[in-house]
Copies of this chain bind each other. A is one copy, B any other.
Amino acid sequence: MTATMRPAATAAPAVPEVLGRTRDAVQPALRAAVDRLDETSRAISAYHLGWTDADGTPVSGSNGGKAVRSALAVLSALAAGAPQQTGVPGAVAVELVHNFSLVHDDLMDGDTERRHRPTVWALWGAPSAILTGDAMLALAQEVVLDSGSPHAIAAGRLVSETTRRLIHGQVLDVQFEQRDDVTLPECVTMAAGKTGALLSASCAIGAVLAGAPAEVVGALAVFGEEIGLAFQLVDDVLGIWGDPAVTGKPVYSDLRARKKSLPVTYATTHGGAAGDELAKWLAGGETGDEAELARVAALVESAGGREWATAEAARRVETAERAVAAIPAGPREELIGIARFIVHREA
């Protein structure tokens, strides 16, 4: 990822530079937090976070991924006029909550690979995945409560509430697999829980720890929530029409999995005859070959699912950027830079 990959005309700040800077601020605190875990949970967390191999050997030069959530948390403190250090405990907490949910979700979904490496449960079994996730969740709260911020209670509450929304999103996702009557508002609630809630908390928690006024915290929370939805809409479009060479997933992967994604749910509930045909196919059990999946993708498209999802993502990005209009220009531009990076790159 180099700066030259972005159109030269945009004034967006250099995202890799921002991510590098915030990562340097957060990583030592994240490592110190993980060091508090019992030996086993610590070793498994270090593997999951990309710091070590399965046998505990440090991965040289590993920075533990893009860490966009912790970058947003640090920028959130800056947006509230506080030093970036104020956002660091919040950054560690959202990173831990994110990774708690990944470790549990991989187990629930039966996914054996993440970022081209075996998942925790695939290596160490279900009990270890459950316990390591639990430990990371408990640790997230501890870090916020230990921050020394006079606003630690509000930040801790945000972590709890966000975790419950995240869980609700996953609860709905699990249920949708068994249902044929998912409505678009339900699908949006699911995506808002699974993706919007934690991005919203990431964008707000630094300002909360800084004791920012409610309107600043609220603006940042809306920003993150809308960016989360926009990301999910784009991701769902890529899940159907994305280039496998770019997404790293097989072609039509979400259709193969009969996923009730946002464009699919728009199509089945607002897409007329094509939508009805799509709904019938989803309710059936047959696994289609590639030609069949191409026909289904065309149904989603002619039912308006692709166009709606693309336009809705753009609307959400606009809403997000409008929400932070009153934030000082420097942090605002960096937040918007990371947000665009999330929406358009993190497929």
Listed in ascending order, the chain A residues whose CB lies under 8 Å from chain B are: 36-38, 40-41, 100, 104, 107-108, 126-128, 130-131, 133-135, 137-139, 141-142, 145-146, 152-153, 156-157, 159-161, 163-164, 167-168, 170-171, 174-175
A167 and B134 within 8 A (CB): yes
Q: How far is the CB of A149 from chain B (nearest CB, A)?
A: 10
**Chain A: interface secondary structure?**
helix
Q: What is the total number of copies of this protein in its complex?
A: 2
Closest beta carbon of chain B to A170's beta carbon, Å: 6
Write 9 A-B pairs (CB below 8 A) sorted by A numbering: A36-B164, A108-B126, A127-B170, A130-B130, A131-B167, A134-B163, A134-B167, A137-B138, A142-B157
> Are A134 and B131 in touch, CB under 8 angstroms?
no
Known contacts A138-B163, A152-B153, A164-B135; A175/B40 CB under 8 A: yes
Complexed CA–CA distance, A100 and B145 (Å): 21
**Interface contact B157-A145, CB-CB below 8 Å:** yes
Distance of A168 Cα from B135 Cα, bound (Å): 9
Name the CB-closest residue of B to A150.
B153
A157 — which chain B residues lie within 8 A by C-beta?
Answer: 142, 145-146
Given A38-B167, A130-B130, A160 contacting B174 (CB threshold 8 A): no
